């Protein structure tokens, strides 16, 4: 998969305006933003990645008032340009990590830096201010989530998973996994076995019921 394609052509268009907020990194921050949005009677949704998705046309006067009100709490509503760049970075990482059959042989940090070098390197800091973590940490979290998916839904060995997700070896992958989850991969294999047992039991009970 071509890295330049991922960062330059993945679109985050969802049919309505999307703006991110700097320093909205806790549940309390999110509650403040929601309260201010509702005070202004704005129709919105908060995306899984923390963006405000305005579901109606955002009037300039309302946007200005929202920006001013959020500043009282030390929260900064990003402009459309920076919000779009943040959204493209997030979308690209999610697309590559979760929807590639096999991750490309490249360093994500290099992809992002190459992309930002022609715009503004400070966007890495803005990303951290928005997400409360670095770009690399965001990537790691999603790689850990992908490992869980593979353990639960695919019949792959740890070495095969490590290969697909571009780890040098399974030992480094397991070490990172344990560091971020506090659990061994074998725990998720046990979960998978438990789920299959439940599915088999339910299927058996359904079959018996259908014969009655």
Q: What is the pLDDT of residue 135?
A: 87
Residue 164 is encoded by which pair of tokens?
Answer: 């697909």
Average of per-residue pLDDT across 122-140: 91
Q: Regarding the domain delimited by 141-211, which CATH topology (the fold level of the hierarchy) does it fall under?
A: Arc Repressor Mutant, subunit A (1.10.10)
SS3 103: coil
* pLDDT for 14 beyond 60: no
- Name the band, by pLDDT with cuts 50, 70 and 90, for residue 209: low
Residue 78 DSSP code: P
**In the chain, where the domains are located:** 3-132, 141-211
Write down the pTM of the prediction. 0.81
Task: Tell me the Cα Rg of the chain.
Answer: 21
59-63, 67-71, 185-189, 200-204, range with the lowest pLDDT: 200-204
Check whether domain 3-132 has CATH 3.30.465.10, yes or no: no
Average of per-residue pLDDT across 170-192: 96
58-62, 94-98, 104-108, range with the lowest pLDDT: 104-108
Adjacent-strand bridge partners of 44: 54
SS3 25: coil
Dist. CA 191–CA 170, nearest whole Å: 20
């Amino acid at each position: 998969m071509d890295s330049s394609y991922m960062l330059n052509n993945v679109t985050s268009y969802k049919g309505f305006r999307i703006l991110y907020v700097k320093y909205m990194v806790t549940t309390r921050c999110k509650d403040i933003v929601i309260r201010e949005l509702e005070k202004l009677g704005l129709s919105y949704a908060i995306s899984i990645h923390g963006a405000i998705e305005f579901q109606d046309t955002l009037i300039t006067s309302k946007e200005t008032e929202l920006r001013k009100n959020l500043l009282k709490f030390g929260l900064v509503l990003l402009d459309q340009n920076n919000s779009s760049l943040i959204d493209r970075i997030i979308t690209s990482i999610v697309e590559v990590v979760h929807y590639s059959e096999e991750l490309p042989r490249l360093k994500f940090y290099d992809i992002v830096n190459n992309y930002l070098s022609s715009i503004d390197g400070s966007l890495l800091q803005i990303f951290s201010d928005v997400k409360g973590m670095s770009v690399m940490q965001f990537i790691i979290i999603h790689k850990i989530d992908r490992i869980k998916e593979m353990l639960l839904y695919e019949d792959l060995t740890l070495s095969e998973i490590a290969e697909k997700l571009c780890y040098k070896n399974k030992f480094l992958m397991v070490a990172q996994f344990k560091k971020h989850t506090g659990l061994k991969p074998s725990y998720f294999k046990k979960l998978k076995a438990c789920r299959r047992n439940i599915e088999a039991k339910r299927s058996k009970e359904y079959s018996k019921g259908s014969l009655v």
